Structure 1
């Protein structure tokens, strides 16, 4: 897995600098979406408590990686790549830990420094901080593209949701260099119960060494 692909799921684009409170501007009807559509999107995210899914990540060059994602709102998220040298990303306690198994080292950033931080907020208010720059309803899906209102050059994020029933299926990050990273979700399960230890900041190097020692 390339370094660019490994780092592009959540942590690569300047769009990551979006404020912790994500929102959509009042240009709701742009691109064929209505205010009612945006209210449905808001209601969907605000009613979401837990989500588990498989993800497939495809980078600009066509390289791909996959793994499993867990989201427990508010405040917790885990993305684990299948590859032995893949990333492990854990959000908890307002921080996001990234452990690169290939490099063998962790790094920590604020949760607000990730483009999906809005998923972890207790309430999603769709107004003000982010401008809707595109939207489409087609084939049973809603597509909404947003950018930071004060810094449109930082990049864009597109969310793709199934319309009925409403469900997050994909997001696309477009960075300032117009490089695109696409993440698709499948085998989606909502409303399940997770072990809180999935979201703890234990150093994976220690945990993996302990697991090998006990074998």
Structure 2
């Protein structure tokens, strides 16, 4: 997998990892835990949404595109040309298509951190630990990592405060490389086209289906 596609998978598939992190928040103050609960309640109520995003990887390369969410189970991250990348969760699987490299990879939704955010009911017992809650001038950031320490790195999820909203996230890997996703104009939606969350493998059937 190329660095760009690895950054994509890290930044998008891992982003919701922090959203369900409440149960293992030892060491946080009552005020910090209240912010985590507030953010989680907001995400739980975000059943349909749409907006734009920009992603900046560790090399400083910036890409952009459109994002659509429909809980439970569905999401679409459509990168603008010339990227050629498209990520779709159809409720059962997460598919990653790269039209430039002519590749198509598929993962079970339950095996990705996306399942934490796209679940019908966001769970708080999935081994995620909130390590810090930081106040910003216009919001706050929740930082989390794998509570079982099976996955290195951390995720910082940023929210605006007034009104409360998801502003983006930064994923930092074990080598300290950070990939930042910034959401632009994310807003609640209704009646999203079901076809947004369908992505079929365009390759001939005799081409091997690889998993990254």
Shorter-chain TM-score: what band?
A: 0.7 to 0.9
Query: Structure 1 residues 184, 94: CA separation in 2 closer, same or farther (over 3 Å shift)?
Result: same
Q: Map Cα deviations across residues 156-177 of structure 1 (whole Å, 9 max, x no partner).
A: 1110011122111111111111
The equivalent of 2:99 in structure 1 is 101
The equivalent of 2:207 in structure 1 is none
Cα pair 2:44 2:122 within 8 Å, conserved: yes
* TM-score, structure 1 as length reference: 0.82
Instruction: Quote the Cα distance in structure 1 between the aligned partners of 2:81 and 2:132.
Output: 35
Cα pair 2:10 2:171 within 8 Å, conserved: no
Report the CA distance between 1:128 and its aligned residue: 6.0
The equivalent of 1:81 in structure 2 is 79
Q: What's the secondary structure of 1:193's corresponding residue?
A: coil
Question: Is 1:195 the counterpart of 2:193 in the alignment?
Answer: yes
Q: What's the secondary structure of 2:184's corresponding residue?
A: strand
Q: What's the secondary structure of 1:194's corresponding residue?
A: coil
The equivalent of 1:6 in structure 2 is 5
Specify which of 54, 60, 75 is matched with residue 62 of structure 1: 60
Instruction: Quote the Cα distance in structure 2 between the aligned partners of 1:80 and 1:138.
Output: 29
RMSD: 2.7
Cα pair 1:84 1:101 within 8 Å, conserved: no
Instruction: Quote the Cα distance in structure 2 between the aligned partners of 1:114 and 1:8.
Output: 15
Q: Map Cα deviations across residues 25-54 of structure 1 (whole Å, 9 max, x no partner).
A: 232625x95222122112101111111111
Instruction: Quote the Cα distance in structure 2 between the aligned partners of 1:33 and 1:3.
Output: 41
Query: Structure 1 residues 179, 115: CA separation in 2 closer, same or farther (over 3 Å shift)?
Result: farther
* TM-score, structure 2 as length reference: 0.83
Question: Is 1:43 the counterpart of 2:8 in the alignment?
Answer: no
Query: Structure 1 residues 128, 194: CA separation in 2 closer, same or farther (over 3 Å shift)?
Result: closer
Specify which of 182, 186, 196 is matched with residue 184 of structure 1: 182
Query: Structure 1 residues 75, 153: CA separation in 2 closer, same or farther (over 3 Å shift)?
Result: closer
Instruction: Quote the Cα distance in structure 1 between the aligned partners of 2:51 and 2:199.
Output: 21
Cα pair 1:28 1:34 within 8 Å, conserved: no
The equivalent of 1:27 in structure 2 is 26
Cα pair 1:94 1:111 within 8 Å, conserved: yes
Report the CA distance between 1:133 and its aligned residue: 1.2
Query: Structure 1 residues 127, 62: CA separation in 2 closer, same or farther (over 3 Å shift)?
Result: same
Q: Map Cα deviations across residues 87-116 of structure 1 (whole Å, 9 max, x no partner).
A: 111001321000011111211012234444
Report the CA distance between 1:152 and its aligned residue: 6.2
Report the CA distance between 1:181 and its aligned residue: 0.3
Unaligned runs of 5+ in 1: 207-215
